[in-house]
Amino acid sequence: MTPAPLDPHAPVEIAAGVWWVGCHLEGEAFQAHAYLVDGPQGAALIDPGSVLTWPVTRAKIAAVMPLSRVRWVVAQHQDPDVVGAVRDLAQDLPGPLTLVSHWRVHTIVKSYGAGLPEWRIEEHDWQLDLGGRMLRFVFTPYAHFPGAFTTFDEATGTLFTSDIFGAFTEGFQLYAQGEDYFDQAQPFHEHYMPSREVLLHAIEQFRKLPVARIAPQHGSIIEGPLVPYMYQRLSGLDCGLYLMTKTGREIMRLATLNREVRDLTQAVASARSLHDVIVAVEDTLAEMLPVEQVEAFAHTGEETCLHFEPLSQHRGRTAVAPAELHLPTTEAVRRVTLASGEALVLDLSLEPDKPVGPCGRLVVRLRPDEPCTARGLEDATAFLIQAQRALSIAVERAAEHRSLDLQRMHWLERSIQDPLTGLYSRLYMHLEVDRLLESARRKQGSPLALLMLDLDHFKRVNDTFGHVEGDRVLAAVGQVIQAAVRQTDMAVRLGGEEFAVFTSGNRDAITTAQRLQQAIRDIRLDAALEGEQFTVSIGVAHFRDDDTLESLIERADKRLYQAKKSGRDRIALG
């Protein structure tokens, strides 16, 4: 429901039993929202805000309910504008209060000195019961910090998304007014989210929920039909644009340059990609010179550079720039002889003494069978000089995007998610499993078990059908494992055809193993693999208090060996 008119100085009930209790700061484009969710056994305050906004938030809570009803404080983030008020609220609210968060947030928030008891979401099956009203927590790692999570209110379908879906807004705008909200959210996500992969992982989790509205930490609340639209638009967004910047001034500069690039491409070619910009330049120069093709080189900080050439639609590939482009020059445009013939070279670095500098070179290759006229050369040179800054920005932006793409391919996919199966990677397992084991030691009556899975006769699949078909099998296995385990379980591809599932809670590990075994038996693939059936051997080991990751894996691996030795398509428990 969208009350009208909205008073920023009063609490706003955004859904049944859910209130916005934030504080609007005049002139601040980066508002931090606080939300209150009431349940039969008390209320949960989500992201209480800063010490600057707490007096207003406190008054709004008091206008809705007695302060003593607030029992839980959910901290989805550790920054001072989001949770800096925790010390003041610990003194102002009668309680008893409990601080609800991920262990990574607790580690930092304790420095605020509130002294509240910690309640770790990963130790409570990722849910909080308010006495019949369930809040479920969705883990969204690295969006935009390692312990990031969001909160879903089952009663109203309200998803409190922390930084995701945030935006820079002008004035008080509690509710997003339409699809134009994406234009406000785009620079926020380009700046704060480290990569498209990270953001996609979070959005895919949200698609599984019956979301009626999104209540972000910053920006505006997103209602109804606008929710799937924002899913779709953000899924195609290039994030992590500013990972290479060092200062806020550089960030603002890059944002300004991006706007100029969009203006340039709309004016020249009605498109935003570097390919369309270069094609527009090529069309313009073709009226003056016998142009064969236009390409660009951008320095990446190493001996190699990125080469944007027509064959790849100017997408950018790693290459070595021709030696002639490294020659220092004081001229913005010069004529050079390359191995392929004559060319005009535009220095895009804006630093003449820096060979193939940050913005590199734009190379206009000329056809050898047609002469250039003096007037044509003069006009082309004048055009390139006039377009130098805009082209420099376009190539620099494309180089930053492409460099970030290459970096993300190198570390993000390997650190978070196996690209073939969609399961967590082995590296991610090593980063997180110690915390999982420690949680199991502290937690009573909720055992942890490790399932080690190995596809039977997988070598025969690769040898008979080839590695491409083998990858299809692995991808299908990854899908059924994801479908068969809970969100609180951790499913990992160890390598090759080996997988691991860490399962906790009251669910019986053998039941989980049997479900996985049957799901893999039920896999059916078409084309070359039509009619093939697949089986898996599983070794199960239950966690012991003195276990390390190595000892737990060793026992599960022994059981796996036992399952294979006894005929495969077996489950062995140890």
> Which of 257 and 6 is assigned the larger pLDDT?
6
Q: What is the pLDDT of residues 101-148, one digit of tens each?
A: 999 989 888 888 889 999 999 999 999 999 999 999 999 988 878 888
- Residue 419, in any domain of the structure: no
Q: Please tell me whether residues 123 and 217 are part of one structural domain.
A: yes
pLDDT tens, residue by residue, 320-378: 878 777 766 678 888 888 888 899 998 887 554 444 444 588 999 999 989 999 888 98
Asked, for residue 408, whether it belongs to a domain, the answer is no
For residue 367, the domain's CATH number is 3.30.450
Angle, alpha carbons 297-299-301 (nearest 5°): 165
Give 270's pLDDT tier (boundaries 50, 70, 90). Answer: low
* DSSP result, 246-306: -SHHHHHHHHHHHHHHHHHHHHHTS--SHHHHHHHHHHHHTTTS-EEEEEEEEE-SSSSEE
Query: Rounded to whole angstroms, how far apart are CA atoms 487 and 447?
Result: 16
pLDDT (0 to 100) of residue 382:
78
Indicate if 341 and 454 belong to the same structural domain: no
Residue 277: the pLDDT is 86
254 and 304 in a single domain? The answer is yes
Say whether both 229 and 254 belong to one domain: no
Q: Integer distance in angstroms from the first to the last C-alpha of the chain?
A: 54
* pLDDT band at residue 189 using 50, 70 and 90 as cut-offs: confident
Together in a domain, 268 and 348: yes
In a domain, 421, yes or no: no
Between CA 507 and CA 500 the distance in angstroms is 17
- In this structure, the answer to whether residues 260 and 282 fall within a common structural domain is yes
* Predicted pLDDT of residue 350: 55
Instruction: Indicate if 184 and 289 belong to the same structural domain.
Output: no
> What pLDDT is attached to residue 30?
64
The verdict on 207 and 286 lying in the same domain is no
% of the chain residues with pLDDT over 90: 43
Model pTM?
A: 0.49
Q: Does one domain contain both 397 and 448? A: no
Shared domain for 394 and 450, answered yes or no, is no
What six digits make up the tokens of 390? 């805009």
Is the same domain home to 269 and 294? yes
The chain-wide mean pLDDT, for the chain, equals 84
Domain extent, residue 72, equals: 12-235
CB of 436 closer than 8 Å to CB of 424: no
Instruction: Read off the CATH number of the domain in which 226 is found.
Output: 3.60.15.10
More reliable by pLDDT, 292 or 419: 292
CA 43 to CA 46: how far, in whole Å? 10
Higher pLDDT, 448 or 404: 448
The predicted-structure confidence for 19-59, as pLDDT tens digits, reads as follows 999 987 776 656 789 999 999 999 999 999 899 999 999 99
The letter for the amino acid at 350 is L
SS3 breakdown of the chain: % helix, strand, coil, rounded to 5? 40, 20, 40
The CATH code of the domain that includes 467 is 3.30.70.270
Of 46-50, 205-209, 486-490, the one with minimum mean pLDDT is 486-490
Average pLDDT over residues 6-16: 89
**Helix or strand (DSSP H, E) at 521:** helix 509-521
Say if 413 falls within a structural domain.
Answer: no
Q: How many domains are there within the chain?
A: 3
Domain end (from 170, 203, 235): 235
